[in-house]
Structure formats: structure tokens, C-alpha cells
Amino acid sequence: MKIFISADIEGITGIGHWNETDKAFPNEYSWFQKQMTAEVAAAAEAAIEGGATEILIKDAHDSGRNLILDELPELCNVVRGWAGHPLSMVQEVDASFDAIMFIGYHSRAGQNTNTLAHTMSSARIARMTLNGQDMSEFYVHGLAASYYGVPSIFVSGDEGLCQEVAEHNSTIETVATIKGEGSSVISQHPAQSLKMIRAGVAKAIGGDFSKGLLSIPDKLEFSIEFKKHQEAYRASFYPGANLINPVTVGFKTEDYFELLRFNLFAY
């Protein structure tokens, strides 16, 4: 059994400030780096116990160089850094994987369910939509995995994201690690999160993977709303793109990979 794990940090237990996500603030970041690693390791260990024989992890936060490698199970390989590939946070996923899991993910831009809520770039992007529906990083990349026939079976992160995941597909196992309220965060004990992740992954690994395959619409109308009009203007020159309004650029396609390619070059 071959499993892919994509790991982010803004949905890790207890996290509540941008400094805690940033290597430039080591006194605040280091504990959350360690907890991110522990939550990924818990998921990987449960997958191995459930029969996984190959695990590939994409370190998908910021620099892509967060996970403490020697604290992960030896079976795991890790993709570090950014290749500049359209698959972005699920780089290297392909049809050979049986399932994908998302650890430490977070609410989409504009939500009051995580003080760090954003989609792709907190500095540049106000929202992304697909066929009029706001997109989270989970949805962007869950659909990317589905493009290759890889089902999403487990997600951990903030409570708001877990609710969104259930709206997309109620069969995907989720574990809520934190709850956001304005600029605050309500957190359970980190050890409790590790127990819940292990249990959730064990249940997911024992389930019917095929039920977790997200449906990709036949026609795709994608948009990115930028925080600055200059960004939208620049992105509008991508072949097939158009300005919807001064801060929003749109792109229509019937091929989800083309959407991902546009997304890579637009933002």
C-alpha cells in the first residue's frame, strides 16, 4: 500500500500566530515545527500499522523545509523545498498512490475558523473560487490528487476545515486540532491530537478508499481575487485568462491540470 501525505503547519495543534509558522522567529517556531513533525509521524505510524509499505511526504509549508527528518518513521521519504511544479503541495503524487492524507491543514481565506486562515498566499490572495465556490488549500490539492485517481482519506487541521471537508465528502476521516475565534485559538492538549490522529488514520486505512475520491467538475471556471489590482492585471496576460474585475482574474478550462498550471503562473 502506497500512501502520500501532504503536511502544512497552520492547522497544527495550538498554533495561533504567524510568528509560530516562521523560521525567522525560532523561539516561537521551533515548538510548532516539532509538533508538526509529531503529527505527521503519528499519521505515518498509523498508516504503517495498517499495512502501508511506502509513504511519501510533501513538506508543504513555507520553505518546504520544516519536518525534522529523524523523528519520522524510517519508511518515509520526504519531498523538501519547491520544484516549481503545478502540483505544488502534492508534488510527486501520481496514479501509483493508493490514497492521500493531509496533516496540519487550515481554513480557507476569509473564514473566522482559524486566525491564520488563507489560501495559498496570505500576503497576496484574498480568495480563490471554482465554479463560484471558495477554495481551500485542501480542496485545491484534494482535487489535484483526484485528477490522478488518488482518493483523500484523512485530514487533520482546524475545526472549520474539518467541517468544509465533510461538505465536500463526508466519508473522509477528519481530526480537529484547534478552533479559531477571531484572533484567538482554542486548543486541545497536543498529546490528545496525536492520539486522535493515530485513531483517525487507523480507521481511514481500514476503510474503502474509493469513497474518498473527490469529484472534479467537467467544466472548470476558476478565479483568483488578489489583494492588489496590479497582481490581477499581470495574471490576466496568461493565455486564456481574463480580468473579471480590477482585482480578480478568471480562467476557464475542462482540464484540472491546466487550472493548476494557470494557478502556478498567476500567483
Res 12 pLDDT > 90 = yes
Q: Is residue 248 part of a domain?
A: yes
C-alpha cell read off for 153: 482519506
Contacts of 201 (CB under 8 A, 6+ apart): 42, 43, 46, 47, 50, 101, 154, 173
Domain residues for 238? 220-266
CA pair distance 253, 91, nearest whole angstrom: 21
Question: What are the tens digits of pLDDT across the range 96-124?
Answer: 999 999 999 999 999 999 999 999 999 99
Whether residues 155 and 88 fall in one domain: yes
User: What is the model's pLDDT at position 164?
Assistant: 98
Looking at the chain, how many residues does it have? 267
Whether residues 224 and 208 fall in one domain: no
CA pair distance 64, 251, nearest whole angstrom: 28
Question: What are the tens digits of pLDDT across the range 14-64?
Answer: 999 999 999 999 999 999 999 999 999 999 999 999 999 999 999 999 999
Please identify which residue in the block is written with the cell numbers 478568471.
250
CA pair distance 176, 179, nearest whole angstrom: 8
Whether residues 237 and 184 fall in one domain: no
Domains: count for the chain:
2
Question: What are the tens digits of pLDDT across the range 51-99?
Answer: 999 999 999 999 999 999 999 999 999 999 999 999 999 999 999 999 9
Number of H helices, E strands in the chain: 6, 12
Per DSSP, helices labelled H in the chain are 26-49, 137-147, 159-168, 190-205, 229-235, 256-266
Res 252 pLDDT > 90 = yes
Whether residues 119 and 64 fall in one domain: yes
Instruction: Look at residues 168, 196, 212 and tell me which one is the last residue of a structural domain.
Output: 212
Question: What are the tens digits of pLDDT across the range 217-241?
Answer: 999 999 999 999 999 999 999 999 9
Beta bridge partners of 58: 6, 79
User: What is the model's pLDDT at position 267?
Assistant: 87
Torsion sign (Cα): 122, 123, 129, 130 = negative
C-alpha cell read off for 186: 482554542
Whether residues 204 and 150 fall in one domain: yes
Res 144 pLDDT > 90 = yes
For the segment 172-193, the average pLDDT, to the nearest whole number, is 98
Whether residues 77 and 192 fall in one domain: yes
Whether residues 42 and 100 fall in one domain: yes
Instruction: Look at residues 192, 212, 232 and tell me which one is the last residue of a structural domain.
Output: 212
Whether residues 146 and 259 fall in one domain: no
Whether residues 224 and 201 fall in one domain: no
Please identify which residue in the block is written with the cell numbers 493565455.
239
Closest to 49 (Cα-Cα) out of 259, 179, 216, 203: 203
